[in-house]
Amino acid sequence: MATGTRVLFTTVGPYAKYGLSVVKACARAGTHYGDLTGEVSFVREAIDRWDALARSTGARIVHACGYDSVPSDLAVLLLHQAAQADGAGGLTEVQLVARAKGGFSGGTIESMRGQLDGMRTDPVLRSLAGDPYSLSPDRTAEPATRQPPDLGWISRSDDGPWAAPFIMASANTRIVRRSNALQGWAYGRSLRYGEVMGMGRGPVGAVTAGATALGLRLFGAALALPLTRKLLDRVLPSPGAGPSEAARRSGWFRSQVTASTESGQRYRAIAAGPGDPGYAATAVMAGETALSLALDGDRLPPATGSLTPATALGNILVERLREAGHTYEITSLT
């Protein structure tokens, strides 16, 4: 059986094949495991191979324990709990608007290269990338609810800023939907969950959103083509490279998540913290995740196997992150 004192934490990134071996070893030994991956294909393969074994040994295999996808996953969990406490019914329309200041990670870019290469040659990976329920524990049981696109164009709420596609949405949204399914669709079978990036208000916000949406598409196309990739490789950071110490200190993230419910009540969650999202803030999330797995075993949800931050750690991780200086707040809007 797994003990709360045996925990292994890894990054994965461009080393996915080694990461799968680590997941296998932890599942066999009943050792709790956490990682920072934002790669849907890696998580899916780990689930398919080692979920049942991890459940049998009592291991908690927890993916996406950094900026991908802790703020998203915990914010939606808290929104569900607030609606449940008020008798407001299930969540229906939920949208995260992300704002952040941070640098580029060479490991993340290398991971993107690998995923694009895989999708170009493997139709199964292409299908997985396009399936909004690709991390579901039971794909055939998922509702027919149509989900927002991961890579849409610009948008704007009635009183909000202009928004562009959020590059992390394809990973975060699937983690949140897996959390919902692992809890018996407790958030609601009509849940529609999407993520965008806030770009500011007025004409400047609209232009910035449009430029960002176009730039993301051009960047993805350039990475996918051998000739343009070679040109990009000259200027993009290599694996292991990232923002300076000063940039890591001055960074921050703020995710605002607005939810409507079956009863018509509305709520807002704020998940925020200091430090570069992919480095300083993620280090806090990873560290508190490891401490939760190592020290809080008796207080954690009873689930084992291939889990998400919300289903493996839930409110215990929220408490730890608040104590570490991160913000998780819920407000009723009606």
Predicted confidence at residue 154, as pLDDT, reads 85
Residue 61 and residue 8 in contact, taking contact as beta carbons nearer than 8 Å: no
Residue 38 and residue 73 in contact, taking contact as beta carbons nearer than 8 Å: no
Pairing of strands 266-274, 162-165: unpaired
Rounded to the nearest 10 degrees, how much is the dihedral formed by the CA atoms of 142, 147, 150, 153? 170
Tell me the pLDDT tens digit for each residue of 30-87: 999 999 888 899 999 999 999 999 999 999 999 999 999 999 999 999 999 999 999 9
Mean pLDDT on 10-21: 65
Predicted confidence at residue 193, as pLDDT, reads 97
Residue 194 and residue 96 in contact, taking contact as beta carbons nearer than 8 Å: yes
**Residue 180 scores a pLDDT above 80:** yes
**Which of 22-26, 137-141, 149-153, 294-298 shows the lowest mean pLDDT across its residues?**
149-153
Phi, psi of 13 (to 5 degrees): 50, -130
Q: What percentage of the chain reaches a pLDDT higher than 70?
A: 90
Predicted confidence at residue 232, as pLDDT, reads 76
Mean pLDDT on 102-123: 71
Pairing of strands 60-62, 192-200: unpaired
Q: Cα–Cα distance between 121 and 118 in angstroms, integer?
A: 5
Find where tokens 């295999």 sit.
Answer: 61
Predicted confidence at residue 127, as pLDDT, reads 80
**Residue 4 scores a pLDDT above 50:** no
Q: What angle do CA 81, 83, 87 make, to 5 degrees?
A: 115
Tell me the pLDDT tens digit for each residue of 230-246: 787 777 777 667 778 88
Q: Residue 67: name the closest of 209, 246, 242 by CA.
A: 242
Please provide the distance, in angstroms rounded to a whole number, between the alpha carbons at the two ends of the chain: 46
In 3-state terms, what secondary structure has residue 236? coil
Higher per-residue confidence, 222 vs 23: 23
Q: Cα–Cα distance between 29 and 26 in angstroms, integer?
A: 5
Q: Cα–Cα distance between 6 and 247 in angstroms, integer?
A: 33
**Residue ranges with strand state E in 74-137:** 91-101
Find where tokens 């993230």 sit.
Answer: 253
**Residue 3 scores a pLDDT above 50:** no
For the chain, give the mean pLDDT: 88
Higher per-residue confidence, 220 vs 258: 258
**Residue 104 scores a pLDDT above 90:** no
- Give the rounded distance of the alpha carbon of 319 from its chain centre: 19
